[in-house]
A and B are shown apart, each in its own frame.
Chain A
Amino acid sequence: MRKNWLLITLPIVVAVGHLAGYASMSTEVFGRVNFLEIIFAKLLSALGFLYASWGFEPGDHLRKAWRYSAASLMMYLLSDIIAYAIDAQILPGKIGLGSRGLVLVLGNVFYVVGTWMLASTWHKAGLSFEGPGIRTFVIRLGAIAIALLMVVPGVIGGIEEFYTGKADMWSFIKIVSGLASAISLSLVAPMLLTALALRGGILFWPWIYLTLILMSWLGTDAVLAWGPKVLGLEGHIKYVIADFFRILACLYGLSAGLAQRSITSRIHQHKAGS
């Protein structure tokens, strides 16, 4: 139990440290630190998902779901590395941008498939959510509405670029990323309902971390989409706060992986002790 509270609070401590870094460092130093923070956070998240998948056998539903999620984080990580290589002129711009676009599209596809598989676990297990159907329906509808609200500005921006003739590969990626986010974030409802149904059991923990991952990504999208208009967040600060949520999302990925694996270890200890 204490370990799980640590896995809940540690990502918050690190993300607050990120804000403290912005407040105390020069822009140039913070830029470098921030790049490394995000790279490590994504790496830890991918490793967490992969570690969770190793607790399952080939053919297990959750093994595939965790692996798709790990693959999406690896693609996002690779995209950051390619962006760095382009900036540092290690990769030629045209090849770099093309490969980054491809990697991002793949990352989004893996993200949607992984999240969809995780969110459908309850249904696949042959169980139904507790409570009146209307409550479940309202929670699902609310999550879909919030997810759409968060991603609509990005998608509209991408579509507008096509209409005004300014479209390039990034307009297409904006639309793909927006749609991937909309689908994945709307799945926060089944994820939360699964966690709530499992409360009191050790399976609750990976599912609540998975819910926190999606809520954190929702925070990232909310800041990027509405931060300037609603909160007046302009320039660097918008990205610093978006990265606060990004770090949370990634580190909760590690927490989810560790919590999932501890269940596998527990049952083996249980068996050995019986």
Chain B
Amino acid sequence: MTIADRLIQQLETYLGPHTAKTAVKTFAKRSLSLSPDELHAEHVSVLLDAMQPMLRTLLGEKVAASLSDHIKGALS
């Protein structure tokens, strides 16, 4: 399982599979200029930081930060 797949798996509980996949693809391209297949463990933190405004809007600041920390912990 790739890092992108693991990220999608973590996010899809909240965002659903389609949006989780779109979010990983969009933010990987936007923040790292990479495709999901090119993501490695060291990119996770930067990618999740780039996703923060989206997560904060959908889930609120506290929940978004908790989710982000949880995913960083799970994927490190």
Contacts and interface: CB of A to CB of B under 8 A. Distances in A.
B3 interface: no
B15 interface: yes
B37 interface: no
B57 A200 contact: no
A264 B53 CA distance: 17
Contacts of B16: 197-201, 203-204
A interface residue count range (under 10 / 10 to 19 / 20 to 34 / 35 or more) = 20 to 34
A62 B60 CA distance: 7
Nearest to B62: A57
A264 B19 contact: no
B58 A199 contact: no
B13 A62 contact: no
Nearest to A60: B60
B70 interface: yes
Given A202-B14, A270-B70, A57 B60 contact: yes
B70 A271 contact: yes
A69 B61 CA distance: 20
B39 interface: no
A202 to B, nearest CB: 6
A126 interface: yes
A121 interface: yes
A132 to B, nearest CB: 15
Contact of B13 (A121, A124, A201, A268): A201
Between B17, B59, B61, B74, the greatest number of chain A beta carbons within 10 A of the residue's beta carbon is seen for B59
Given A55-B60, A55-B63, A264-B60, A127 B26 contact: yes
Chain B interface, DSSP helix/strand/loop, else mixed: helix
A125 B54 contact: yes
Contacts of B76: none
B56 interface: yes
A42 interface: no
A77 to B, nearest CB: 26
Contacts of B69: 271
B61 A62 contact: no
29 contacts: A56-B60, A56-B61, A56-B62, A57-B61, A57-B62, A60-B56, A61-B57, A62-B57, A121-B58, A126-B26, A126-B53, A127-B26, A130-B18, A197-B16, A197-B18, A198-B19, A199-B16, A200-B16, A201-B13, A201-B16, A203-B14, A203-B15, A203-B58, A204-B16, A263-B14, A263-B63, A264-B60, A267-B66, A271-B69
Interface of A: 55-57, 59-63, 121, 124-127, 130, 197-204, 263-264, 267-268, 270-271, 274
What 4 A-B pairs are tightest by C-beta distance, nearest first? Answer: A201-B16, A200-B16, A56-B60, A125-B57
Interface of B: 12-20, 22-23, 26, 53-54, 56-63, 66-67, 69-70, 73-74
